[in-house]
Amino acid sequence: MKKFFVLSFLVTLLFSCSLDDDNPSFSFEILPIEDVDIPEEFTLGEVYPITVTYDRPTNCHAFRDFYYLKENNERTVAVISTLFEENNCVDLVDESLTATFNFQVTSNGSYIFKFWQGQDENEDDIYLEIEVPVTN
């Protein structure tokens, strides 16, 4: 009997949702990182906040998450924003925001962080690379 109520609730929920034009449309956009606040060294086993500064291009952009790629002791980081596609977006000038993620140190050696800063004129990715040594 309990399964029936759960199934009925899910079916009702599914068919009560509307996909009309009242729902905002959006896309995701990667934003360049302008600056980073990161420790000069890490201690094995500790957790550290890493704060990035990025520019918000319009009032239709909102922070969504971090792009975070892990390869051995190399980390590639970028800001993912949600771009709400509306007609009344306003371009922003010098709208710098910060976002923070926690980094847990799990191995010895050094970590190399590559913070995405955009693309050059040849559309090659540009990174701010920071190497942080790990102490015991």
Q: Where are the domains of the chain?
A: 23-135
pLDDT in the model for residue 98: 97
Structural contact between residues 89 and 98, judged by C-beta atoms closer than 8 angstroms: no
Averaged over successive runs of 10 residues, the pLDDT of the chain (136 residues) comes to 38 42 80 97 97 95 96 97 90 93 95 97 97 93
Distances (CA, A) of 17 to 11, 20, 129: 10, 9, 45
Q: What pTM did the predictor assign?
A: 0.79
Structural class in CATH, domain 23-135: mainly beta
